[in-house]
Amino acid sequence: CIGRDRTPFKQRLLVVANRLPVSAIRRGEESWSLEISAGGLVSALLGVRDVDAKWIGWAGVNVPDEVGQKALTKALATKRCIPVFLDEEIVHQYYNGYCNNILWPLFHYLGLPQEDRLATTRSFQSQFDAYKRANQMFADVVSQHYEEGDVIWCHDYHLMFLPKCLKEHDRNMKVGWFLHTPFPSSEIHRTLPSRSELLRSVLAADLVGFHTYDYARHFVSACTRILGLEGTPEGVEDQGKMTRVAAFPIGIDSDRFRRALELPTVKERICELKKRFAGRKVMLGVDRLDMIKGIPQKILAFEKFLEENPSWHDKVVLLQIAVPTRTDVPEYQKLTSQVHEIVGRINGRFGTLTGVPLLHLDRSLDFHALCALYAVTDVALVTSLRDGMNLVSYEFVACQNAKKGVLILSEFAGAAQSLGAGALLVNPWNITEVANSIFTALTMHPDEREKRHRHNFAHVTTHTAQEWAQTFVSELNDTVVEAQIRTRQ
């Protein structure tokens, strides 16, 4: 594609997400060190052809002084990132409060936090006001950097108010919004005091995307039942304005995992791990330490498996990597203590002088260590109580071409819709069923493992993150902004 100045034309894309894909650490008054976190979204966008993407988001740090803000803005510009500065109070009310204490549990069917339900109900309005203020701050930064012809892609539950703010600024902006979590049944969404305002704001976008068809269907039902609008196979119609709603299942950059497994350092780590766990089958869980991931349910099921299968006691180990997250939110602090207590009990019951059956780490691993671990695993356990997609299941499959291990996967993860035929699907609330699946997985015939792995591997390597981003961006490009139709008429 050639632009007017005969240089190759690239579509400018502004990606707006709560968090920038960079961690920033202050080294001095004007000095910052930045570390890129090569998460799924970053690699997805790197793979999109003819797109020139810039990121707009919160850098995850409080920078109260102008000198620090200027220096960080300059440093981030070298990584194509633009910061939104949020002060401590707004982070507390918007991010810890409305996003992570209200929307997150509700969208995952967990309801409001049990003990402080009334307190949350009381502080609801002030948190929602902070949410709207924060979204407006994101919109202001987007507007400062927007140029005619840009396409804007907003991400996730933090920014449901953003499409409306952007269209109010300029109705010709082409705006897409994608939700990375489930969108719950309309009966759940109905309980939110701000239910209508949020839906109307999302509908201001031109294209609205979800990981699965079910989430898209729930969203359309919420719009028809709560707002009384018309749902069509294309999306939602409001007085002649059409918002396209569709499913765009995300994937991973499977080549990145394949390449990593070829590296000598990763091969070395694989050898070390094999030696370390010789004589034992390795089971693996990798999750953020979040209540949606069903970590207590997973380890209780493992305990049940050990109770019922004494002959396996010294022949299996469950390695649980639990990455700390949102540590300022009390619910997450409680979960950490709860998990530690169960882990202690299980190891006390089933450990011997030579080893324990459960290795639990409260930390993240670097990419190469993770790839090596995936490669030596016999059985991966994903027991999310609800999960938008769950890419750990994809990453495990991508690293299993040699071993052809078994994936035990919660039926409540979006990934169950794509990897269901190859995985052993379980209801994580039913620990007897999960314990039985652990036995089935550990004793599965190699031919059966091979068949299941082949199915999943084909999916993971075909439906990649790049394909996901490419499809969303092209579809967004193809939507005709309502304001433009009106101008033409």
The answer to whether the Cα torsion of 201, 203, 207, 208 is positive or negative is: positive
* CB of residue 231 to ligand G6P, shortest distance in Å: 25
Q: For ligand G6P, give the closer residue by CB, 100 or 437.
A: 100
* Distance separating alpha carbons of residues 432 and 429, to the nearest angstrom: 9
Q: Counting contacts by CB under 6 A, is residue 326 touching ligand G6P?
A: yes
Q: Counting contacts by CB under 6 A, is residue 136 touching ligand G6P?
A: no
Q: Counting contacts by CB under 6 A, is residue 303 touching ligand G6P?
A: no
Q: Counting contacts by CB under 6 A, is residue 181 touching ligand G6P?
A: yes
* CB of residue 157 to ligand G6P, shortest distance in Å: 7
Residues 228-247 that bind ligand G6P (CB under 6 A): none
Q: Which of the 8 DSSP states describes residue 248?
A: -
* CB of residue 101 to ligand G6P, shortest distance in Å: 12
* CB of residue 211 to ligand G6P, shortest distance in Å: 10
Q: For ligand G6P, give the closer residue by CB, 9 or 109.
A: 109
Q: Counting contacts by CB under 6 A, is residue 156 touching ligand G6P?
A: yes
Q: Could you list the active site residues? A: 180, 387
* CB of residue 75 to ligand G6P, shortest distance in Å: 20
Closest CA to 441 of 390, 385, 380, 395: 380
Residues 341-360 that bind ligand G6P (CB under 6 A): none
* Distance separating alpha carbons of residues 348 and 343, to the nearest angstrom: 8
What type of residue is 146? Y
Q: For ligand G6P, give the closer residue by CB, 34 or 359.
A: 34
* Residues paired with 247 in a beta bridge: 210
The answer to whether the Cα torsion of 189, 390, 328, 17 is positive or negative is: negative
Residues 3-32 that bind ligand G6P (CB under 6 A): 19
Of the candidate residues 164, 174, 180, 281, the single one contacting ligand G6P (CB under 6 A): 180
Closest CA to 111 of 100, 120, 119, 102: 102
Q: Which two tokens stand for residue 489?
A: 């008429």
Size of the site for ligand G6P (CB under 6 A): 6
Q: For ligand G6P, give the closer residue by CB, 18 or 297.
A: 18
Q: For ligand G6P, give the closer residue by CB, 37 or 430.
A: 37
Q: For ligand G6P, give the closer residue by CB, 19 or 404.
A: 19
Q: Counting contacts by CB under 6 A, is residue 164 touching ligand G6P?
A: no
* Distance separating alpha carbons of residues 314 and 107, to the nearest angstrom: 40
* Distance separating alpha carbons of residues 198 and 161, to the nearest angstrom: 6
CA distance readout (Å), 158 to 91, 97, 134, 181, 233:
11, 11, 9, 11, 27
* CB of residue 325 to ligand G6P, shortest distance in Å: 5
Q: For ligand G6P, give the closer residue by CB, 100 or 479.
A: 100
Q: Counting contacts by CB under 6 A, is residue 218 touching ligand G6P?
A: no
What type of residue is 262? E
Q: Counting contacts by CB under 6 A, is residue 293 touching ligand G6P?
A: no
* CB of residue 156 to ligand G6P, shortest distance in Å: 4
* Distance separating alpha carbons of residues 100 and 32, to the nearest angstrom: 28
Residues in CB range of 77: below 8 A, 6 or more apart: none
Beta strands in 182-305 (DSSP E): 207-210, 230-232, 235-238, 241-247, 281-288
* Distance separating alpha carbons of residues 412 and 415, to the nearest angstrom: 8
CB-nearest residue to ligand G6P: 180
Which residues of the chain form contacts with ligand G6P (CB under 6 A)? 19, 156, 180-181, 325-326
